[in-house]
Structure 1
Amino acid sequence: MPKRKNREPAQPTTRSKRQPRHHHGAVAANPQAQSAPISIDPVAPAQTTTSLLSSEQLQQVSQAVADILGQNRTQPMPIEPLQPGMGTQPMPIESLQPSMAGPDQCTGPRTIWILGSSIVKHAFCYARKSQYGANLELDRHNATIFWQGKGGMRVEEICSKVRTLLKVQNAPHMLVIHCGGNNIPASKGAKIGDRHAKSADLRDKLKTVIEKLIQLLPSTIIIWSQILPRLHWRGGINQPAMERTRMRVNSYVATLLIGLGGKYIRYPELHKANTGMFCKDKVHLSGMGNDMFLYRLQQALQAFLNDSSVKVSPRVGQNGPWLRYD
């Protein structure tokens, strides 16, 4: 067999002559080859500065604004908050018109004391379970009611009770007094000539009490809650005379207090003719009577809180629970 010719050694392929591959943007060995494709012309400095004002131009603008405002400024206006008192915020309306507020109105919470006999005590117990609540829905008027009812309370006990309360609480904004019914003959055998049956004696006592209360509570509005009628006056022989005494005392105290800046609350629906308003004892109020009592009390306090010019609530002739109140 013919002998195979020895092959020449393989020449290096052209692959070895290729330039090495460059990955991920590697820089070529020849700097002249890379300068052209990757060169980035920077933005000329003149193009970035032409949109801004120089310090001299800023000073000229500030000077022009100052001249327009009537201020003789020579320095550029500083960029800082205005000093206090330069009117950075609008002035509140209250400070511009202080006379709009009433003389007896206050901005803080207002406390109302209701002081009286068992009528007040029973009304408080009834109010807690009713739709009104113990505060008679006066929270929206920023007012709070503090009830102090004592069974059998008489006029002579009012001042001592107020002194006791002042030891633990501040003076109230309003003081409602519902007392005096037990001073109209409360003892058996009392006759028309006795001191319990004389309206003049009871009026003198109430006048003295009111004068002392004004000294104890000089900034408090005193409100007289009229003495309610009764189907039967305990211990009274002449029932019509007892009723006349009640009416005279209410009229006297109302006139006296209104003249001194006080208020007066009436209960026109609580009348002897409306027997359903009273309990079987013919003295205290029934459920319907307490509803009417609380309604008129709430209506009056609401009117007094909203308008200081209101002296009597409800006014004469305004009868019936259908009256609208806000």
Structure 2
Amino acid sequence: MPRKASKGGKRRHKHCCGKRAKKSRDGSSSSTTGLAVVRVWIMGHSIVHWAGVRARESGMGPALGLPRHVHVSWFARRGMLWGELLPMVRTLMAREGPPSAIVIQLGENDLVSVGCLVLRSLILKDLEELVSTLPTTKVFWSHFLQRRVWRDSHRPAATESARKRVTAAAAHKVLSLGGAVIAHPEITFKAITLFRPDGVHLSPLGCDTWLQAVASNLKDGLGL
């Protein structure tokens, strides 16, 4: 699948995000609510890309129906691998400053090509570095999603087992670092209607399910 960057939609939207970020760094408040701006980054691979598209097309909107002083930016790359996360974060940090919260849906694409223990170790190390780099940012770890099809896997059952082990370890690490965990119990390989025919990407209904979980956890985790 060709890679395609998705950083919040069109250039005009991206420009707006930059302006909002500058205001946040200056400590300004939302002009409409008088509340301090809460900036959220949602980052990851195709799940995030298509969820962002769905959010913009649906009544939820790109800000996920959150209060008006919450500004949500989407940073996704189709086919993105775990090792691309920290470089992307550093680039965004230099341009926009730290966000209030970051949601991460990433790592499933590595499961087939990287050994379970190696991937687990890499993710735990990078999560520690992420929190060290963004000490004022709350990290939301979104569980690795099940898939109906694990492409290029010769042992799908083993890949599914690795998914469970790695996401559990990462979730434990994030909680120990003061972050939060977003579970997706409804998105299972048995829920056919939540997936596209390829068995990998989420259908519009699947995206809605994912978006609702993210929005709900952001509300609770940030006290919105």
Q: Is TM (by shorter chain) over 0.5?
A: yes
Select the residue among 128, 132, 135 that pairs with 1:211: 128
Q: Give 2:178's aligned amino acid.
A: G
Q: Give 1:181's aligned amino acid.
A: E
- Identity across matched positions, percent: 33
- Measured after TM superposition, the shift of residue 247 of structure 1 is 0.8
C-alpha contact 2:131 2:177 (8 A) present in aligned 1: no
Q: RMSD over aligned Cα, in angstroms? A: 1.2
Distance 2:89 2:163 in 1: 24
Aligned to 2:48: 120
C-alpha contact 2:120 2:170 (8 A) present in aligned 1: yes
Structure 1 or 2: larger helix share? 2
Aligned to 2:140: 223
- Measured after TM superposition, the shift of residue 178 of structure 1 is 0.6
Q: Give 1:156's aligned amino acid.
A: G
Q: Secondary structure at the residue paired with 2:67? A: helix
Select the residue among 150, 157, 165 that pairs with 1:240: 157
- Measured after TM superposition, the shift of residue 199 of structure 1 is 1.4
Distance 1:259 1:218 in 2: 14
Q: Secondary structure at the residue paired with 1:139? A: coil
Q: Secondary structure at the residue paired with 1:122? A: helix
- Measured after TM superposition, the shift of residue 216 of structure 1 is 1.4
Q: Secondary structure at the residue paired with 2:181? A: strand
By relative contact order (CA 8 Å, sep 6+), the higher-ranking structure is: 2
- Measured after TM superposition, the shift of residue 258 of structure 1 is 0.4
Aligned to 2:93: 166
Q: Give 1:166's aligned amino acid.
A: M
Q: TM-score, length-normalised on structure 1?
A: 0.57
Distance 2:185 2:37 in 1: 31
Distance 2:93 2:122 in 1: 22
- Measured after TM superposition, the shift of residue 235 of structure 1 is 1.1
Which contiguous aligned blocks of 4+ residues in structure 1 show a shift greater than 4 angstroms?
none
- Measured after TM superposition, the shift of residue 250 of structure 1 is 1.0
Q: Where does structure 1 lack aligned partners over 5 or more consecutive residues?
A: 1-106, 187-195, 308-326
- Measured after TM superposition, the shift of residue 291 of structure 1 is 1.0
Structure 1 or 2: larger strand share? 2
Distance 1:218 1:139 in 2: 24
Q: Secondary structure at the residue paired with 1:114? A: strand
Q: Where does structure 2 lack aligned partners over 5 or more consecutive residues?
A: 1-34
Instruction: Give the aligned length.
Output: 190
Distance 2:188 2:128 in 1: 30
Which has the larger Rg? 1
- Measured after TM superposition, the shift of residue 128 of structure 1 is 0.2
